[in-house]
Amino acid sequence: MIVRVMTQSGNIRWALCALVLGVLGSVPARAQQPPIAAGGNGIKIGDGRLHPFLDAELRLDTAVGYFPNDATPDPDDVVSSLSPELVLRVRPGLKLEVPSTKLALNASGRLEYVRYTGWLTKQSTYASHFEGAADLTAHFNPQAPVSFVLADQFLRTDQTRNAALGAGVLSLFNEVRGSVPIKPGGGAIEIVPELAWGLEFFDPIGLAVPVGCTEDVCDPITVDAFDYTNVRTGVDARWRFLPKTAVVLDADLDFRTYLRNTASPDALLLRAMGGIAGLVSTKIAVTAKVGWGYNFGESGGSTLIAQAEGTYLYSPTMTFKGGYLRTLNPVAAYGLFQDNRGSLEARALFGGKLVLHGVLAADFLRFYSATQPRSDVLVTLDTGPEYQFKPWLVGAASYLLSTRSSSATGSGLNYTRHEAYVRLTLVY
């Protein structure tokens, strides 16, 4: 059995990078973290405003990682399931918005300290770490027929993008993107070619190998073997043949290579979809697209891909959304995976200050492998309120449920996770 204590030097280095980028970058909203409400007047910078903010969150998480058993002196005696903990998260950050007809900037960033308190699992304190995010978008000549967008996204989080990996993993992701929106003839036709380059690195959160793990993908100790680089090029096209309805075409090509693990097959994946998006009535909007995904890489693989989504505006303050998405994506260890995702979402605003939300989603994953066939089922639920006490003070609470069952063995791939949190956000 391998036991490993996480070192903090690398985390601190990346956290400091995140803090520097935070002055320039913007934080992408995650599904379980609502966007920060604009509060106060901010600090005037040219034609824009800089808004400092601070989040403080206390979260009960029933599955933070794998740790040695406190009841025995043997450090190799690991509990057979994910351990619970009370987790304190503190997120200072900045948000910058500079509107302009020449160069529009949207940027924000945060540095996040995640403290495992040790109140429920004593050994978990060693896994406390820094996270962070930064995102910068610069739009040159946004109102011109031909403009240019340069963007960079930096993210260090325990929500990895790798669908094959088990629980207890930290992800360090960065992607730089450039696109050229072209709007000839007054904007009825829009063509946006794009080029992006991304990197993702992985580290373990826990201290030990989970019980029952017989495959690399469920062992957080060896996740750095799946570090990768990804180059993506593509084009999005839209033709508005009616004022609120358009024909859409999306095509992209992913070139995925793995930096350390030669056992993970590289991918050269082409995806293309076409369809219609727009309003079918004053209250109903739909998107319907269908296409094909094909891997030109050595491992091969292809399938039908599609998207069907509808939004119903029940009232000016209440919306319902439902959809189905079938995608094909590159992934470590297997080469490709297919995701069939169904989701339902409801959101309502009461009194201009109270927001209630609920999201239910199910993902049916199939991993392409001749030697390691695998299928997973993921179910997630996210529900709770958010209340704006003052223009500068927002409170939120939520309950999250996530379950995962896999044909692959290992507790890191088969678990049920409950999370409940309360959060206060101060924005100037």
CATH of the domain at 26: 2.40.160
Residue 395 is which amino acid? Answer: G
CA-to-CA dists, residue 300 to 118, 156, 241, 303, 394, angstroms = 47, 31, 37, 11, 49
Has residue 3 been placed in a domain?
A: no
Residue 424 corresponds to which tokens in the numbers above? 């206060």
For the residues 327-344, what does the mean pLDDT come to?
Answer: 94
For the residues 339-354, what does the mean pLDDT come to?
Answer: 97
CA distance 182 to 179: 10
Q: What phi, psi does 200 have (nearest 5°)?
A: -140, 130
pLDDT digits (tens, 9 = 90+) for 110-141: 999 999 999 998 888 888 999 999 999 999 99
Residue 357 corresponds to which tokens in the numbers above? 């939300």
The yes-or-no verdict on residue 278 having pLDDT over 50 is yes
Percent of the chain with pLDDT over 70: 84
pLDDT of residue 221: 73
Question: Highest mean pLDDT: which of 16-30, 41-55, 305-319, 362-376?
Answer: 305-319
DSSP assignment of 21-51, as one string? HHTT--PPPPTTSPPPPP-S--EEETTEEEE
The yes-or-no verdict on residue 11 having pLDDT over 90 is no
Has residue 228 been placed in a domain?
A: yes
Give which of 14, 182, 160, 168 is closest to 79, Cα–Cα. Answer: 168
Neighbours of 185 (CB within 10 A): 8
Has residue 2 been placed in a domain?
A: no
CA distance 424 to 279: 37
- The reported pTM is 0.84
Q: Domain residues for 367?
A: 9-427
Percent of the chain with pLDDT over 90: 63
Has residue 4 been placed in a domain?
A: no
Which of 86-95, 120-129, 206-215, 338-347 comes out lowest in average pLDDT? 206-215
Beta partners for residue 322, in sequence order: 310, 344
* Contact present, 185 and 151 (Cβ < 8 Å): no
Cβ neighbourhood burial of 284 (10 Å; 0-12, 13-18, 19+)? exposed
Q: How confident is the model at residue 260 (pLDDT cuts 50, 70, 90)?
A: confident
CA distance 137 to 177: 9
Give which of 338, 340, 342 is closest to 367, Cα–Cα. Answer: 338
Has residue 145 been placed in a domain?
A: yes
Residues in the chain: 428
Which of 24-38, 48-62, 103-117 comes out lowest in average pLDDT? 24-38
* Contact present, 134 and 119 (Cβ < 8 Å): no
DSSP class of residue 163 equals T
pLDDT digits (tens, 9 = 90+) for 303-328: 999 999 999 999 999 999 999 999 99
Which of 9-13, 114-118, 142-146, 353-357 comes out lowest in average pLDDT? 9-13
Instruction: Give the chain's radius of gyration (CA, Å).
Output: 22
- Structural domain count of the chain: 1
CA distance 278 to 288: 9
Vertex 22: Cα angle to 37 and 224 (nearest 5): 115
The yes-or-no verdict on residue 61 having pLDDT over 90 is yes
Question: Highest mean pLDDT: which of 60-69, 116-125, 390-399?
Answer: 390-399
